[in-house]
Structure 1
């Protein structure tokens, strides 16, 4: 019996230890434990220790927010800002909180959160003001809200008036800029017009205008925005001088020609692209020389012709990109500049890492003019430093070498030429004098001395009496003249006025014009080669295959233009017209104009490139040759070496 009772008690307890059950009046009474089990004690201690660790960590490691949070200020802001904090009035696109019509806030931006906080503070101050105003004048809440609404309306009107005033000032500034240009160019005329009265001459001029339109329309259709056009392939083209960017070189080079020819619709298209799309940002290298004469020259010329300040601003932005190239010990710039890094270098093929005379000497007109119209002297200072350095160098026999070291300021390889590598340096000495209103006497003196030295060392005469300028290499004359050098006929004639012997230099210009014309008519295509020689019985003809090409160059036609203007001898117009016919027969294709690889072959291979200077120079000089002298008169305008005209006596300020 006792055993059964013990077993029953064990079963009832659910354990192996006795559970001494209490009974009251024979009825078992539930009995709870008076102590915690060991496992339960362990859990409680563990919870307590964890909580203590969290508290201690919070105390030592969390930032003190007392300086960052002002609880009373927060409470006041929440009470007065009202529901707008939690339910914005309006939400703009992309989740922006919109408080005012003219303000968009991004809640995730630190600066915008600061703006929101500032706005809440302003609203709080307004509420305080309205509350005080209401108490002072016993104003109802509705009246106070009306006052607030009136204040907001006044604020809106003030902002509108401010915007209108700013717009008015902007328009007045632009208008004043145009008026300033007109004042700068007071007395300068002849940017358009010049229609000849002779019907035959007029028809020839119209033909040149049609050629320009054909070249331009083809570029617009097949290569818009690219640097140049491949008229046969019907796609864009870019030479290494433009780097890897599409800079619209043809647009910049052609825009003043379009304006001068009165192609107004085409001009507007070009102008709009320049205003909205011309951009010199990118990791690429550009030629300092080519960028100056084509881009800066084209922009400044069109500014001078139109008075449109946009061109001036664009020209300055391009020039600024080139300035790092001048950071050399002598101030003589290097040939190439990286637009992104500002680093510069010279051509790898140049003698001993030297700079090129024609390149460093053909920046003067553009940079001086830019300083004058912007008021920024840095551009002029850069090119005057080049002139000073060159002027102080010792010149053997009075001659300038084609190479000069930008670090040492010493001449490189002895090579003197009026063609490639040297040409436009001499041109810019003369034209700096002309552009200054003949006040830059240093430039004129340097020009006269250089030309006299060339007369002694470079001027040659062939067996048949053709006059040309050879090249001096290491003391020996090479009997060769470049197509590039054919510009000098016009230069000699233009510089005759003001020289010590006007007739002599006019005749020298005529002699060079005749020789270069012979290089044209002795070719089967009546277009001249890149270079021609006078070796033995060969006169004014190319011998080497790599000198027989023609790439739409303008220099011969440039000299014909000057000789016509200065002498009025009909032969110069006749020679120009002969060139027009040759261009139409051998260079015109369905989609523009192309160069040819051999001027001595009829229907020979074409090079498939429409050079930008064809529109800037070749067609412009032809058009002016068949125009009256009132169009770009030579006493009021001076052409840069890319045929972009600048106004004479611009420095009146």
Structure 2
């Protein structure tokens, strides 16, 4: 760069100002991940300063605010395998499949725009609209980064313009789910900004962040996760709840931290780090040390009392965010690695089981554990219930195993991903149900035993108050594939967790069979859920092809924000959204990692 010789006092002053600005920016760069090309936009506009949530007084301001970490980021091991070689025929097939996924997304987007524009959800059968998430255009915001990644630029530009007009000071809901608002809206805006550098998106992220920050306005600065928003808007004092789901309080860290990284305002990071510190302090004081119970108390800041321990619904993303926070912040906060390793040591020992299958497949499923004091100490009892949602775990263990060099995690991850793929294939429509039970193998052997399976079917029926002496009748009535002892929830609600783990595992191993499995999953899902307008959740995936699975007229925003995005990325170029540069939040919104 050529030297610029100043020609006046004003020029000297300008250069001095620019130099000071450069030095200040450089001194804080370790708290930020890189953003595309230009420096962070100026979002403290007059409009922001007069924004309702900015001006609303705080009843319980924090006594001090933790700063963002300023240590140098660590150099983690690579997550992605070397790019696999590809023949011309394989390249053609991959691109055709990627186009097929994009075509399904485009159909859904066009119908959303035509029938439910700026509503939260499209009703994909009736063509109506729904507003379960504040009426703030959840599908639109959740889809922003998908539009960008699919190179749908006109649609992206139109969506950004529409998103800029969303008013987060108005909603018809009496109660706002803070967790869902965080992962869908705050996560959606942050990710789309990280990808596009469009300043309007960071401004909207700040608007959401300012709103959500008021959910922390309680005496102990713990959040109200099911938030009476209108009372808060009226300035009424609030108290954090005594009982809430652990996922809803423990899964805000990525989005709040990324917002602080981008704005250089540490208040959001401080808000969630208070939660992390409390959970870390009590992690080994639970009935199942290493894991947190399903229900905790924000009011009393107690995270250690309870007897149910799961990595599935209502707890999942607490564990998901531990290695992801390490990746996001460049390892500057060792507590997240420590918490992850303690949690996975317990989960691998107690929550995972190998089910008995007719093919003797070496797979794993994650179940729920009940821990109770039987007088001689705590006894942990496994409930062998599988969940579609817990299929995220294979991807999580892949990330953690790669980042922290834990081979035991990678071994379990492979078997968990294989378990989810197997379960898809085992059902008549090639789609996993929402929940199911299987028979754990005995510790000594894992050979298929039809008599044992049928005994398991009878025992499960008895537990469900559907006692019968005829296992064959139950199997026929409930359409149980071999290996399943019960399927209490037969829905498929367009969930992403199985393809999420297939995607992560494929990028980490380059195993071509995973790409084939992804294609089989996609074609099966689309064949069963496709409607005239879009795709719908269905009531019963145990019904064979040719029978009606029952359309639920529901298409949650994660179908376009997560499921189709992961399918698309499986067939994308190898370095598109590289896991060595990006980390996904629990709603599949990629954030830029802080790199050395």
Aligned residue in 1 for 2:519? 577
Equivalence map 1:339-378=2 (5 Å):
339-342=229-232, 353-378=242-267
Aligned residue in 2 for 1:554? 496
Aligned residue in 1 for 2:294? 402
- Higher RCO (C-alpha 8 Å, min separation 6): 2
Which of 135, 156, 159 is the equivalent residue of 1:246? Answer: 135
Q: Is the counterpart of residue 522 in structure 1 residue 426 in structure 2?
A: yes
For residues 257 and 304 of structure 1, do their structure 2 counterparts lie closer, same or farther at Cα, with a shift above 3 Å needed? same
Deviates more, 1:492-501 or 1:302-311: 492-501
For residues 178 and 520 of structure 1, do their structure 2 counterparts lie closer, same or farther at Cα, with a shift above 3 Å needed? same
Q: Is the counterpart of residue 418 in structure 1 residue 311 in structure 2?
A: yes
Structure 1 CA distance, aligned partners of 2:589 and 2:139?
13
How many equivalent pairs are there? Answer: 457
Q: Is the counterpart of residue 264 in structure 1 residue 153 in structure 2?
A: yes
Equivalence map 1:250-649=2 (5 Å):
250-282=139-171, 284=173, 285-342=175-232, 353-393=242-282, 394-396=285-287, 397-410=289-302, 411-463=304-356, 464=360, 465-474=362-371, 475-502=380-407, 504-535=408-439, 537=453, 541=484, 543-545=486-488, 547-601=489-543, 602=545, 603-649=548-594
Q: CA RMSD in A?
A: 2.6
8 Å CA contact 1:335–1:344 kept in 2: the answer is no
8 Å CA contact 1:523–1:599 kept in 2: the answer is yes
Q: Which TM-score applies when normalising by structure 1?
A: 0.66
Displacement of 1:400 in angstroms is: 1.2
Deviations 1:256-297 (A, max 9, x none): 100000011211121110112343423632100000000000
8 Å CA contact 2:437–2:487 kept in 1: the answer is no
For residues 345 and 526 of structure 1, do their structure 2 counterparts lie closer, same or farther at Cα, with a shift above 3 Å needed? farther
Displacement of 1:542 in angstroms is: 7.3
Q: Is the counterpart of residue 231 in structure 1 residue 134 in structure 2?
A: no
* Structure exhibiting the larger radius of gyration computed from Cα positions: 1
Displacement of 1:544 in angstroms is: 4.1
Structure 1 CA distance, aligned partners of 2:218 and 2:432?
39
Deviations 1:340-387 (A, max 9, x none): 32269899xxxx941211111211111011112112211011000000
Displacement of 1:557 in angstroms is: 0.3
Deviations 1:73-100 (A, max 9, x none): xxxxxxxxxxxxxxxxxxxxxxxxxxxx
Structure 2 CA distance, aligned partners of 1:382 and 1:473?
31
For residues 593 and 480 of structure 1, do their structure 2 counterparts lie closer, same or farther at Cα, with a shift above 3 Å needed? same
For residues 373 and 500 of structure 1, do their structure 2 counterparts lie closer, same or farther at Cα, with a shift above 3 Å needed? closer
Structure 1 CA distance, aligned partners of 2:151 and 2:124?
24
For residues 533 and 330 of structure 1, do their structure 2 counterparts lie closer, same or farther at Cα, with a shift above 3 Å needed? farther
Structure 2 CA distance, aligned partners of 1:555 and 1:564?
14
Higher helix share: 1
Structure 2 CA distance, aligned partners of 1:515 and 1:332?
38
Unaligned runs of 5+ in 2: 1-34, 42-79, 372-379, 440-451, 458-481
8 Å CA contact 2:245–2:296 kept in 1: the answer is yes
Equivalence map 1:80-95=2 (5 Å):
none
SS in 1 for 2:164: helix
Unaligned runs of 5+ in 1: 1-175, 183-189
For residues 177 and 454 of structure 1, do their structure 2 counterparts lie closer, same or farther at Cα, with a shift above 3 Å needed? closer
For residues 542 and 235 of structure 1, do their structure 2 counterparts lie closer, same or farther at Cα, with a shift above 3 Å needed? farther
Structure 2 CA distance, aligned partners of 1:583 and 1:345?
44
Structure 2 CA distance, aligned partners of 1:561 and 1:638?
13
Structure 2 CA distance, aligned partners of 1:542 and 1:270?
46
Equivalence map 1:137-176=2 (5 Å):
none
8 Å CA contact 1:328–1:406 kept in 2: the answer is no
For residues 253 and 280 of structure 1, do their structure 2 counterparts lie closer, same or farther at Cα, with a shift above 3 Å needed? farther
8 Å CA contact 2:36–2:195 kept in 1: the answer is no
Displacement of 1:524 in angstroms is: 1.3
